[in-house]
Structure 1
Amino acid sequence: MARFRSWYALSISVLAAILLILRRDLKQLQTLSESTKQRQVFEDKMFLHHVRNDGVKSVISQRGRYMIYPRVFSSGIKMKSVEVAIATHSSYYKLRFLQNLVHSWEGPVSVTVFTSNPTKSLLLVTLLRKCSANIRNRVNFHFVVPFFGVSFSKPDSFADSEPNILRLLEQSSERVKQNLICHNLQSLLDSFGGFDNDYNESVEYPVNILRNVAWSNARSNFVVNIDVDLLTSAHGHDFLKSFLHNAKIPRKQAYILPAFELDMRYFSQNKDSFPISKSNLPKLIANNVAKPLYSKVCSECTDCNRYDGWLAGDVNTVKHEDIPGVSCMQYMVLPKSAPKFDERFEQFGYDRLSLVCEILAAGYEMEMLDNVFVTRVGYEDLSRDTLTVGENVFRQFITELTDRYPGGAICRQRIF
């Protein structure tokens, strides 16, 4: 009996040792598998073939988490330098908004696409450029690809629920592509509506990196930093181009763009009447189909803009005399040389407010534009939780401003 117990104990020990070895090997295999998936992004032959043939020089982001490919596609009309351009950003699925933005803004656009599947995004951008002369001629595309936390799927493998626009692109003849896809492009893109998050929870959306890539690659003297799902007001580019070219603008000057949000159904039913002018806004607000951006979810984010006074202002002027003078969530027109977005802010929350604070701390004056504004299609559902994302980083950021600028305490006094 003692010999049996000794043999049994030995067997249990050996079995435990084997299980530990198997567990270790399984973990190593899993790590290798994840590493292979990560590497596959950069073994994406179609995408790499395109960037190599076009001479695109990739760079690594400041914190080493993303690969940046500037000017994957350049605009068809070559411009050495222009007065003002839009700098924006998008995920793969939010590219569906680009046509509307480019329709409202008649100037150049620099857009950064964040993607975990570069070939898939390459195909979609190729389609957008083929179907839209405005996009082909006026938009520069840059790609940002995460190093970690991505899984790779071949561009011809889609989930059953995947919008079928790229499947049509791959399976259709050239004639069918033009007739079926291009003539119905926006309807096909609208099917992306339920797929806004094409990055998983382990990969944050590096919004300020994307903004800076678009900003740095905009060949213009001034940059309009807005999101891709916004529309500019009618003749916004012409107004700004003329004003910025002719006015005597101080070196440290920022211009604020009033921002509104619009009922999605109203926009869909009246799409042909867009973009709109300032004179259209009072009626839309009175009919409850337009309101200041964030007004329902974060009134303090927009109250500082004093929109009542702005709406009552002269529609024939460019600058509004009632300057906000406080920091809040604002879209701005800035000189190309102005301080950029702080890239520690990822996702949304304090990401734009941090730039407003730095602009003020750096001694920039702010004035609100009177006849140029932006509108988001669809009411913003920003949650209070979103507004607390990055709060710790923001507090650290504000502390650093006091060390970097003589006026660095300006936001601490106004916010905390």
Structure 2
Amino acid sequence: MYNLRMPRLTYLKICCCNNSRLSLPKLILVLLVAVIVLQGVHMFLLSRIQNHAKRESKTADNSEIGEMIKRIYESHELDATGSYHVIANVAMCEKCLPTGAPMYEKYEITIVTQTSLNNLHHIVNMASQWQGPIGVTVFAFDDGIVNVLIAIATLRKCHPVVLKTVTFHLAYPLHRFPQNLNNAYDTALVSCEELPKVFESKVPNYSFDDIQYPHNMLRNVAVKNTKTEFIFMIDIDMLPSLGLRKDFSKFIEVADRFLPNLTAFVIPSFEAKLNVSFPADKKALLKQWDAGEIRPFYYEVCWKCQRHTDYDTWKEIDGSQLKIAYNVPWKDPWEPFFITRRFMPTFDERFKQYGFNRISHVCELHVAGYTLSVLSNAFLIHQGFKQPEKFHSTKTKELNMNRMLFRKFKEELKMKYPYSQKRCY
């Protein structure tokens, strides 16, 4: 409480009233001094209020990070090999919380993806475009885990669509636990303007020294913790066509009555030059394709990995509404992106680094009896042209190692699906 010392003000009043000879200039001076004093008191009190607000804000920020650290310590989940600590739902989307809005409807789709810190910023564009549930597993290790927690909390604070729709999971190698995690409870968030600096790591996913990037383990974590019936597995630097989520939900609600459950709905994938405007629909995409601004995905890097989508046929299909354009039997080494039910064969977690991590999964779907159906009015665009010279230096070595594993994998499928007449070739 403040002690207001009235005697001085009383003395001023008495002097003003009893001294009839007090000149007008002196009176003005006295009043001016009083105004300055009152302004000083006002600024002091305002400063205290602002400082208190800042402390409250910092406490809220710390609480977000503190909750994630708590989940790390409380999680006892490991991957199938016992090599990675997995923290599912380290930060849940607002709509996913029990106290939030109702859970997503039956025919809803969740984008599932994975990344390290250096590509996590793409989640903002993805969430803004998708406007629906997204699950992303973030890979980190050592003190980089604290940076990931700061990034997640700041993204949720600065981008309401991320807070509302994105659920984050975390995974790290058991032998690379962060040493400074206990001291991170009081870590303050960076400002929204400073957030891009957090993502300035120049190290690509495949170049973590002695750490192998476990794509498929991260994907399995995201799929396992999905709450919707359908999933859409894509890379974090890709964007789906506008309206795809709602269009597919309407389509599958009708088509589900006659389509087999084992269907993978292929979304033709493309890559666009940087800073090219995103096409509003298929008609706009075709114009940009003709102009050389957009081309089929992996056109230079591995055309045989995508050409079985049959882009020439897709180009001629009417794009006025979403429907199945045609079916394509799987052929090695086709690796399309697709939407399917979440209860599918898991990704083989032995495939790490570059090569065969997605091909192996689509191959198994084929052997398991899935139909690959290309959708007519949907597409996926990677931001930037993929070019062979921009890959990491150990790509060829990793590709050769995973090729040997893929051969073994195909032989194992014969035993896993003994009654299947389909093979991976």
Pick which of 87-96 and 326-335 moved more: 326-335
Q: Which residue of 2 aligns with 1:254?
A: 264
Q: Distance in 2 between matches of 1:171 and 1:399?
A: 50
Q: Which residue of 2 aligns with 1:194?
A: 202
| Equivalent residue in structure 2 for 1:360, among 355, 360, 366 | 366
| Equivalent residue in structure 2 for 1:80, among 103, 125, 133 | 103
Alpha-carbon deviation of 1:197? Answer: 4.0
Write the deviation string for residues 33-80 of structure 1: whole angstroms up to 9, x where unpaired.
Answer: xxxxxxxxxxxxx96763436996330111111000000011112343
Query: SS of the counterpart of 1:392?
Result: helix
**In 2 relative to 1, CA 404–280 (structure 1 residues): closer, same or farther, beyond 3 Å?**
same
The answer on 1:143 being equivalent to 2:170 is yes
Q: Quick one: which amino acid aligns to residue 287 of structure 1?
A: A
Q: Distance in 2 between matches of 1:189 and 1:89?
A: 20
Do the aligned partners of 1:120 and 1:155 also contact (CA within 8 Å) in 2? Answer: no
Alpha-carbon deviation of 1:393? Answer: 1.2
Do the aligned partners of 2:68 and 2:91 also contact (CA within 8 Å) in 1? Answer: no
Do the aligned partners of 1:324 and 1:367 also contact (CA within 8 Å) in 2? Answer: yes
Q: Which residue of 2 aligns with 1:348?
A: 354
Aligned-residue RMSD, C-alpha: 2.9
Q: Distance in 1 between matches of 2:158 and 2:279?
A: 21
Q: Which residue of 1 aligns with 2:32?
A: none
**In 2 relative to 1, CA 303–363 (structure 1 residues): closer, same or farther, beyond 3 Å?**
same
Q: Which residue of 2 aligns with 1:14?
A: none
Q: Quick one: which amino acid aligns to residue 314 of structure 1?
A: D
Do the aligned partners of 1:401 and 1:408 also contact (CA within 8 Å) in 2? Answer: no
Write the deviation string for residues 204-237 of structure 1: whole angstroms up to 9, x where unpaired.
Answer: 1100000010111110001001111100101111
**In 2 relative to 1, CA 193–379 (structure 1 residues): closer, same or farther, beyond 3 Å?**
farther
Alpha-carbon deviation of 1:370? Answer: 1.3
Q: Distance in 1 between matches of 2:367 and 2:77?
A: 30
Q: Which runs of 5+ in 2 are unaligned?
A: 1-63, 97-101
| Equivalent residue in structure 2 for 1:337, among 326, 334, 343 | 343
Q: Quick one: which amino acid aligns to residue 298 of structure 1?
A: C
Q: Which residue of 2 aligns with 1:62?
A: 80
The answer on 1:110 being equivalent to 2:114 is no
Query: SS of the counterpart of 2:265?
Result: strand
Q: Which residue of 2 aligns with 1:410?
A: 422
Query: SS of the counterpart of 1:70?
Result: strand
Query: SS of the counterpart of 1:239?
Result: helix
| Equivalent residue in structure 1 for 2:240, among 232, 236, 247 | 232
Q: Which residue of 2 aligns with 1:325?
A: 329
Query: SS of the counterpart of 1:50?
Result: helix
Q: Quick one: which amino acid aligns to residue 262 of structure 1?
A: A
Write the deviation string for residues 129-162 of structure 1: whole angstroms up to 9, x where unpaired.
Answer: 00111100000000001123677578999xxxxx
Do the aligned partners of 2:119 and 2:199 also contact (CA within 8 Å) in 1? Answer: no
| Equivalent residue in structure 1 for 2:222, among 207, 214, 217 | 214
Alpha-carbon deviation of 1:381? Answer: 3.1
Q: Which residue of 1 aligns with 2:25?
A: none
**In 2 relative to 1, CA 53–222 (structure 1 residues): closer, same or farther, beyond 3 Å?**
closer
Q: Quick one: which amino acid aligns to residue 214 of structure 2?
A: P
Q: Which residue of 2 aligns with 1:129?
A: 156
Alpha-carbon deviation of 1:371? Answer: 1.3
TM-score, length basis structure 2: 0.74
Write the deviation string for residues 249-270 of structure 1: whole angstroms up to 9, x where unpaired.
Answer: 3221111111000111x33xx3
Alpha-carbon deviation of 1:376? Answer: 0.3
**In 2 relative to 1, CA 155–232 (structure 1 residues): closer, same or farther, beyond 3 Å?**
farther
**In 2 relative to 1, CA 193–55 (structure 1 residues): closer, same or farther, beyond 3 Å?**
closer
Pick which of 129-138 and 193-202 moved more: 193-202
Do the aligned partners of 1:111 and 1:140 also contact (CA within 8 Å) in 2? Answer: yes
Identity of paired residues, percent?
27
Alpha-carbon deviation of 1:93? Answer: 1.0
Do the aligned partners of 1:149 and 1:200 also contact (CA within 8 Å) in 2? Answer: no
Q: Distance in 1 between matches of 2:417 and 2:159?
A: 45
Q: Quick one: which amino acid aligns to residue 337 of structure 2?
A: Y
TM-score, length basis structure 1: 0.75
Do the aligned partners of 1:71 and 1:141 also contact (CA within 8 Å) in 2? Answer: yes
Alpha-carbon deviation of 1:125? Answer: 0.4
**In 2 relative to 1, CA 104–190 (structure 1 residues): closer, same or farther, beyond 3 Å?**
farther
Do the aligned partners of 1:230 and 1:374 also contact (CA within 8 Å) in 2? Answer: yes
Q: Quick one: which amino acid aligns to residue 232 of structure 2?
A: V
Q: Quick one: which amino acid aligns to residue 415 of structure 2?
A: D
Alpha-carbon deviation of 1:170? Answer: 4.4
Q: Quick one: which amino acid aligns to residue 380 of structure 1?
A: K
Do the aligned partners of 2:147 and 2:198 also contact (CA within 8 Å) in 1? Answer: no
Q: Which residue of 2 aligns with 1:398?
A: 410
**In 2 relative to 1, CA 299–156 (structure 1 residues): closer, same or farther, beyond 3 Å?**
farther
**In 2 relative to 1, CA 191–114 (structure 1 residues): closer, same or farther, beyond 3 Å?**
closer
| Equivalent residue in structure 1 for 2:117, among 92, 117, 127 | 92
Do the aligned partners of 1:90 and 1:111 also contact (CA within 8 Å) in 2? Answer: yes
Do the aligned partners of 1:91 and 1:198 also contact (CA within 8 Å) in 2? Answer: no
Q: Which runs of 5+ in 1 are unaligned?
A: 1-45, 158-168
Do the aligned partners of 1:256 and 1:369 also contact (CA within 8 Å) in 2? Answer: yes
Alpha-carbon deviation of 1:374? Answer: 0.8
Larger CA Rg, structure 1 vs 2: 2
Write the deviation string for residues 255-293 of structure 1: whole angstroms up to 9, x where unpaired.
Answer: 1111000111x33xx3xxx36321111211122111101
Do the aligned partners of 2:122 and 2:237 also contact (CA within 8 Å) in 1? Answer: yes
Alpha-carbon deviation of 1:316? Answer: 2.0
